[in-house]
Amino acid sequence: METSAPLCVIILAAGKGTRMKSARAKVLHEVFYRPMLHHVLDSVAPLEAEKTIVIVGHQKEAVASIVEGWEVICCEQKEQQGTGHAVLSARPLLADFPGTIMIVNGDAPLLQGEHLQQMIAAHRASAARLTIMTTTLADPTNYGRVISDRSGAVQAIVEEKDADEQQRAIQEINAGIYSADAGFLFDALARVTTDNAQGEMYLTDIVGIGVADGLVINKFEHPHPAHVLGVNSRVELAQAQRELSGRRNHELLARGVAMLDPLTTSIGPGVTIGTGCCLGAAVTILGQSTIGDNCVIDPGVYIDNAQIGNGVKVGANSVVLNHRVDDGVRIAPLSLLDGSANAQHKNEEQP
């Protein structure tokens, strides 16, 4: 089909995130030291879309402020009446847009750009008006289930709250990522109702509408089920943190940084570590810290925004904050080195 049709991306980020049990809008929550929404923006960046629209609503000023500096347009969804309603809010910005629209849930921080690119390529190479991303999970609880016919062709998506027992047993789930031809998308959305358990306009209903119209609807099966995680609660937020931390550690291990216990080691995205370093268990290094070559960081060390030279040994359970450490220095265990402007003052206040 049209392999070079223009592309727009819509990111759904207007929801409150009730299940987080938090005063903050869900997409503002930090995962791996950055707001959840930044991870999603990173995953869509390689798509080089003509327009990237972020749907904002709940705490819209705060959400808009964290996307300042990104090449995106914020679009308000005045009331949060569901994912279908959220996409409809962007219609005025996409009037007469002739291309492909990719919709991405704003609570999916583990996605990677390459899989979104593969999905768009598959969509464009097919006759489908809509392609939905799916995957198969051992525990599909809370996700929309993908209903297919005997040949495997998708028929509908049914939300957990609307599903019967048989449907709930289906393990293929909707990842919340869609590629649609713009004309079909807005035509189908205009026909979505709120006749469901949550009284919302479900974006997922466009699948059944397309099928009823006799259109081709395809699936793109994500090869890595862990990447489609939708963060609805703090349990999933912690799961996302673990996955992103694991990816970062994997990258550092591959570059030759030794870690005695990667599962308890957390190295923030802004940190650089030289060659020949060895990190003990439960080490945390954050902020814009730099660690030179051939350093030994003993277990339980916490480092934030520090510059550590070459050949330094940091003794167990030490804390190094906003501090520069010269080459070859040996820091005793249980040391506190705090170079923050008000560090002395803070220490004096302690009982």
Residue 144: contacted member of Mg ion, ligand UD1, none (CB under 5 to 8 Å, by partner type): ligand UD1
Q: Residue 120 interacts with ligand UD1 (CB under 6 A)?
A: no
Residue 77: contacted member of ligand UD1, Mg ion, none (CB under 5 to 8 Å, by partner type): ligand UD1
Q: Give the shortest CB-131-to-ligand UD1 separation in angstroms.
A: 15
User: Dihedral (C-alpha) 173, 179, 184, 185: value to the nearest 10 degrees?
Assistant: 70
Identify the residue among 41, 49, 53, 86 touching ligand UD1 (CB under 6 A): 86
Residue 236: contacted member of Mg ion, ligand UD1, none (CB under 5 to 8 Å, by partner type): none
Q: Residue 144 interacts with Mg ion (CB under 5 A)?
A: no
Which residue in 48, 68, 47, 62 sits closest to 13, CA to CA?
62
How far is the CA of 189 from the CAs of 120, 143, 201, in angstroms? 20, 21, 9
Q: Residue 232 interacts with Mg ion (CB under 5 A)?
A: yes
Handedness of CA 332, 287, 116, 36 (dihedral sign): positive
Q: Give the shortest CB-26-to-ligand UD1 separation in angstroms.
A: 6
Cβ proximity to ligand UD1, 88 vs 308, nearer residue: 88
Selected range binding ligand UD1 among 173-181, 284-292, 305-313, 318-326, rule: CB under 6 A: 173-181
User: Dihedral (C-alpha) 223, 227, 228, 233: value to the nearest 10 degrees?
Assistant: 150
Selected range binding Mg ion among 92-100, 195-203, 229-237, 242-250, rule: CB under 5 A: 229-237
Structure tokens at 127: 């006759």
CA 114 to CA 345: how far, in whole Å?
A: 49
Q: Residue 14 interacts with ligand UD1 (CB under 6 A)?
A: yes
Cβ proximity to Mg ion, 231 vs 316, nearer residue: 231
- Tell me the β-bridge partners of 86: none
- Whether the CB-CB separation of 301 and 318 falls below 8 Å is answered with yes
Identify the residue among 52, 100, 105, 318 touching ligand UD1 (CB under 6 A): 105
Q: If you ran DSSP here, which 8-state letter would residue 27 be given?
A: G
Q: What radius of gyration, in Å, describes the C-alpha atoms of the chain?
A: 24
CA 264 to CA 266: how far, in whole Å?
A: 7
Residue 33: contacted member of ligand UD1, Mg ion, none (CB under 5 to 8 Å, by partner type): none
Structure tokens at 132: 């939905």
Which residue in 101, 83, 92 sits closest to 194, CA to CA?
83
Selected range binding ligand UD1 among 43-51, 83-91, 207-215, 330-338, rule: CB under 6 A: 83-91
Q: Residue 134 interacts with ligand UD1 (CB under 6 A)?
A: no
Selected range binding ligand UD1 among 46-54, 147-155, 201-209, 213-221, rule: CB under 6 A: 201-209
Q: Give the shortest CB-142-to-Mg ion separation in angstroms.
A: 8
Residues contacting ligand UD1: total by CB under 6 A: 30
Q: Residue 80 interacts with ligand UD1 (CB under 6 A)?
A: yes
Handedness of CA 34, 228, 26, 209 (dihedral sign): positive
Is 19 known to be catalytic?
yes
CA 204 to CA 11: how far, in whole Å?
A: 15
Return the axis-axis angle of helices 36-44 and 234-254, rounded to nearest 10°.
60
Selected range binding Mg ion among 156-164, 177-185, 187-195, 223-231, rule: CB under 5 A: 223-231
Identify the residue among 107, 205, 236, 298 touching Mg ion (CB under 5 A): 107
- Tell me the β-bridge partners of 36: none
CA 227 to CA 217: how far, in whole Å?
A: 22
Which residue in 27, 33, 1 sits closest to 14, CA to CA?
27
Residues of this chain that bind ligand UD1 (CB under 6 A): 12-15, 26, 55, 57, 77, 80-83, 85-86, 105-107, 143-144, 157, 159, 173-176, 202-204, 230, 232
Active site residues: 19
Residues of this chain that bind Mg ion (CB under 5 A): 107, 230, 232
